Amino acid sequence: MNKDRKDLKDYKYNQEWIKGRREYIEGYEESITSITATLSDMPKRK
């Protein structure tokens, strides 16, 4: 019984960790998209 409770706590912690990482990656993706758009709008070198 105690093992099941620990497994459940670990599972919940892992889900929260994954959610946090996903949010971080999504924010990072937005930054990369913004930088890419800025770079593509810059005039080309002659």
What does the pLDDT read at residue 12? 95
Question: What does the alpha-carbon distance between residue 11 and residue 20 come to, in Å, rounded to a whole number?
Answer: 14
In a domain, 38, yes or no: no
Task: Please report where in the chains the tokens 């971080």 appear, as a residue.
Answer: 24
pLDDT digits (tens, 9 = 90+) for 1-46: 578 999 999 999 999 999 999 999 999 999 999 999 888 877 877 7
In a domain, 32, yes or no: no
Is the pTM higher than 0.75?
no
**Domain with 18 in it:** 1-27
What does the pLDDT read at residue 7? 94
What does the pLDDT read at residue 43? 82
Q: Residues in the chain, how many?
A: 46
Domain count, the chain: 1
What does the pLDDT read at residue 35? 92
What does the pLDDT read at residue 1? 52
In a domain, 1, yes or no: yes
In a domain, 3, yes or no: yes
